[in-house]
Structure 1
């Protein structure tokens, strides 16, 4: 709230009232004395004393005038007494002081109440026949409190023909009566018949103070939707006028649409088939009874809503959409509409020519095309096994081989719209005579049977057969793999045998020969025995050298070259657990006599 001094009413302090009733005693008093409720008031009575007379010859009397215009004495002073009259409303609250010689007496009223706002008379009497009096009005003031403003909670319609209530201002406990003025955007409002009305009511509280309630009603316009309303309360204080403002309020104003707009809220940018399309319609009015209708002019579809959501849209959803607003509360207002165009971009499925599968002879040229009808420019890329092999609508590969065979994927994208793509596949078969990947080989086997494998490439799928050197022919059903065809054959091996794998189709054939040599188990056993004997001889020699001290630091043994020996008789010294006698064994196992032993 704001507080300011509006004007000064300090009037009468400089204007003195002179009253000479029926004599020449001059009495001067202020027209009015102003005081705040509950405070102390001082009323001054000034007069011209008579020269040559003493103070004992002067009598001062104070009176007040009742509401019924009766004059009641409240104070008396003469040479012998100075008393307040008993039984008056002022008896216990007044006193008088001053100097008769100076011609100035002051009546003091303590704890002023509202009932003290009356006229006071100062009567001066000198001697018997000289009298004069003066009059002053006492004004009492109280600053109001509890200033409030409350806006109407319901919305107001511009279609209302009678003024609608805007709000209420209330101020309490002021004296004299406060004044309330309504403002709209800092402009004071004045009553206008059938347009604007300000109704005020005044309540006199039990304390005698005034409370004022003011209600503003007006016919609102669209411009009032942003207007600020508030109250200014003007009240009086001693010597001045002050003002206080309430907070500012707004009201809800309902008014019809005079323009609407419709737009694509999502997706942002270009629309593609499969998207979720959201259309939003909005008007510049705010009437809660407004009804929006969105219509697809191309197919006549209509929806009573201000937000339309279409899922998985197709090119059929393209066209002009119109938004129309109608408000039954404002029948006089014509409906308004607006439209927007929607285009759903499309990309048809990719078409590969030739379709699905094609056959091309070895050494010839592979040529295929891929196209997809679209509303926007496209880009085409060919892939094989996830690796890009060509860019553009046409796929051309010269001098094809079996490695050219496989599945080619054609991917068509729309660069302008992320995620807009289509694809198709082409299975390429390179036709030609089979090619076996294995080479002629020799195999040695000690097993009774051998499993042989044969891999071949070719198209059409080759027939695979095995022929053995004994004249047997075995046809197999090959297993297709990523690299071609696989055949497995088990051959029985009892002696050396030859097996031939042959793959053939209508374009030719290819073959591979496996030569299998059978190896006997007896030869192996003989070899093992020889190895064992050699190991035994080596162990005997080492032991003999050990006994002669030739190895491991053993002493006392004669060199083998000093004894009787023969290059054909290699002996090994052996001892039993029960005798010290050494027995020499020859390589052929015969026992040697002791005298042939080497001396220890």
Structure 2
């Protein structure tokens, strides 16, 4: 190597400088401190000057131990440089020399690297110089966590109570914690505010700080906001982090108790459901709230009282009492409840009244109430009078009936009571309807109804024009009586309804005309028609066999087909309960059939039907219906006239 060859030269030069007394000048400049965040790379610069140049300069780095001794960590000589072995920085440091600047780089610094570093510059002459720099490593703490007390705090506590705790971890240098109440910092105040802190040095050298706030709370603290603020240092600045905000539960005694009617809103009436509520401006947990009715001593240990179907006696003063059970302090409040009422309506005279026709009717209706009332009178659901008094100057039979008095409270919906009065007017009976009534019927049984008004209730009798009394069912009505009679009729008849009482009588005549008798007489007087039908059966084209004729005699409607004319006769069969319309249809049908039978007989006489052409073609098959014999009978003779196919007169023995 070149070092052994140059060593004598360097020694010689050194002796030469010493001999002439010329010593080299060395100067070193360094920063007082270097700040860096943990985990980063710190760079410590050593600026030096020497008049010998760089060829013979030696650079050494040291750090100061806690006992103030030096520990070399790096050595750079003109011909050799290396980091010292087995130090804190052996594998984390490097040196970079550029001109007169020597920069020591320390990688991945931590809080344990907060040390003082020394840079020493030596020359070939015995002269040397050094500089010192303090390395400061910073670590930001974690976000602060805050916890409030879970239980409430009473304002009656004599000593300060714990509000909460705040904690921050792993910071360097040690962070500081400050408590705030509604954005105002809290400082230690004897017997009022106490802030205590505890610092923990972690194994990593970082600091963790926990702070606790205790204070004597007041009522207004129930709405206060508490939080803690953490202040820590970073290179070239100071930072602040604010925790979450918390609230606390503050228990305080009330200064006022209120009780009110929750429902119903407005006026209260009998039968309502009453709900009372009680509250106070305190929130003390160990307390008892009682609502009591002073009139009846009825009470409940609750903030709500419900009473159903209240009566007027349920009104009065209700008191709510708050009792704090720790110190037995008591405070009360009260309210007055009015329950409105409306008693049953009372009519004078009671139940019913009877007046003579033409006399004055007078009645009164009253109902005791806690509020102003309104009275109206109704008859048959129609308004007849307003006010407490019902008055009619001159009573008539129409005045009689059932009157209803209705008393209401206009101020409150639903408050209503009523009562009824039966008014009877003494006088002779009156029968509804005209004095003479016409009745036409197809039926054989008739129902007649007779309704009469009057007081006393009239007695109704039924008689016929021949003086016969009829049994009838009579019922009383609100203003008189009603009778219904049922009887059979065979002819036109007159029936009389006679209604009478102590003051007179009234008769109504019913003229009953039966339509059924006239119809039956007309049908009975009609003539009878009999027909005889003879049939001939053809066996073959050359032989004609005449069968024994069949004669049918009836009284009925004629029946006609294409080949046969039949006129059966039947006796009229009319039901007693038939309606006029059906009878009329039957009569018209009988007349039409009679006319049709006569026309057919006339055509037969003229030879227009039944093949009266004279000559018969026996080569063709003939139906048994080709030969017809018709027998006509009258009421004056029993002789039968027989007509053959050709219209010739035949004797009876030829049949």
In which range does the TM-score fall when normalised by the shorter chain? 0.7 to 0.9
Further displaced range: 334-343 or 147-156? 334-343
CA positional deviation for 1:522: 11
Of residues 599, 604, 613, the one that matches 1:542 is 599
Of residues 501, 506, 509, the one that matches 2:502 is 506
CA positional deviation for 1:513: 4.5
- Distance in 1 (CA, whole Å) between partners of 2:411 and 2:137 is 85
- Distance in 1 (CA, whole Å) between partners of 2:88 and 2:199 is 28
Q: 1:127 to 1:550 in 2, by over 3 A?
A: farther
SS of the equivalent of 1:224 reads helix
- Distance in 1 (CA, whole Å) between partners of 2:213 and 2:608 is 134
| Conserved 8 A contact 1:94-1:110 | yes
CA positional deviation for 1:528: 2.1
Residues 288-344 of structure 1 deviation map (CA, whole Å, 9 limit, x = unaligned): 12222333344444443322222222222232323232212245xx53322222222
Of residues 201, 205, 208, the one that matches 2:202 is 205
| Conserved 8 A contact 1:172-1:210 | yes
| Conserved 8 A contact 1:159-1:330 | no
SS of the equivalent of 2:30 reads strand
Residues 185-242 of structure 1 deviation map (CA, whole Å, 9 limit, x = unaligned): 1111111233222222222222222211111111111111111000100111111110
Of residues 408, 413, 423, the one that matches 1:413 is 408
CA positional deviation for 1:28: 1.4
Q: 1:59 to 1:521 in 2, by over 3 A?
A: closer
Report matched runs for 1:23-422 at 5 Å.
Answer: 25-50=26-51, 53-99=52-98, 102-331=99-328, 335-422=330-417
Task: Report the counterpart of residue 464 of structure 1 in structure 2.
Answer: 460
Q: 1:351 to 1:520 in 2, by over 3 A?
A: closer
CA positional deviation for 1:117: 1.1
CA positional deviation for 1:158: 0.9
CA positional deviation for 1:89: 1.1
- Distance in 1 (CA, whole Å) between partners of 2:263 and 2:443 is 76
CA positional deviation for 1:138: 0.7
CA positional deviation for 1:477: 5.6
| Conserved 8 A contact 1:440-1:514 | yes
Higher RCO (CA-CA < 8 Å; seq separation 6+): 1
- Distance in 2 (CA, whole Å) between partners of 1:94 and 1:502 is 144
5+ long unaligned stretches in structure 1: 1-21, 557-575
- Distance in 1 (CA, whole Å) between partners of 2:39 and 2:488 is 136
Q: 1:204 to 1:431 in 2, by over 3 A?
A: same
- Distance in 1 (CA, whole Å) between partners of 2:371 and 2:363 is 23
Q: 1:549 to 1:408 in 2, by over 3 A?
A: farther
CA positional deviation for 1:419: 1.1
Relative to the length of structure 2, the TM-score reads 0.75
Q: 1:185 to 1:494 in 2, by over 3 A?
A: closer
Residues 467-487 of structure 1 deviation map (CA, whole Å, 9 limit, x = unaligned): 456666567661224674222
Further displaced range: 192-201 or 471-480? 471-480
Task: Report the counterpart of residue 559 of structure 1 in structure 2.
Answer: none
| Conserved 8 A contact 1:23-1:131 | no
SS of the equivalent of 1:225 reads helix
SS of the equivalent of 1:539 reads helix
Task: Report the counterpart of residue 15 of structure 1 in structure 2.
Answer: none
CA positional deviation for 1:584: 9.1
RMSD between aligned alpha carbons? Answer: 3.8
CA positional deviation for 1:448: 8.5
- Distance in 2 (CA, whole Å) between partners of 1:512 and 1:46 is 150
Q: 1:549 to 1:138 in 2, by over 3 A?
A: farther
Q: 1:171 to 1:517 in 2, by over 3 A?
A: closer
